[in-house]
């Protein structure tokens, strides 16, 4: 079911992808907060699923693979949370006319 991922290993470095993340955020300034929240919930569900599979599998290679998957989805979820927080802090609130 799972292929050997050794040839595709890549260390995730958040600083390395910071320009791409910033470019993506600026490319979609009208991205709806509800869509972002939905995406965040999907990522959190993927983290939970990967952690469950990681805990239930008996094969060490699969356990390591799903550990990496869950770590990757957790980083993505953190970035989406940060983007939501950033977006909500810069939006004017209703009744705030100053």
Tokens of residue 91, six digits: 């939006």
User: Measured at the alpha carbon of residue 77, what is the angle toward residues 74 and 81, in degrees to the nearest 5?
Assistant: 140
- Total count of domains within the chain: 1
In a domain, 4, yes or no: no
In a domain, 7, yes or no: no
In a domain, 50, yes or no: yes
In a domain, 45, yes or no: yes
pLDDT in tens, the chain (98 residues): 344 444 444 444 455 555 655 555 555 555 688 899 999 999 999 999 999 999 999 999 999 999 999 999 999 999 999 999 988 887 665 655 54
Identify the domain containing residue 37 by its residue range.
32-89
- Its pTM stands at 0.61
In a domain, 69, yes or no: yes
């Amino acid at each position: 079911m799972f292929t050997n991922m050794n040839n595709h290993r890549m260390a995730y470095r958040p600083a390395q992808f910071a320009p791409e993340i910033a470019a993506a955020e600026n490319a979609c300034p009208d991205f709806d907060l509800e869509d972002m929240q939905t995406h965040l919930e999907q990522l959190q569900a993927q983290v939970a699923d990967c952690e469950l599979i990681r805990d239930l599998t008996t094969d060490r290679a699969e356990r390591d693979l799903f550990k990496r998957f869950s770590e990757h989805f957790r980083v993505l979820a953190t970035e989406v949370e940060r983007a939501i927080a950033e977006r909500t802090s810069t939006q004017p609130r209703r009744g705030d006319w100053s």
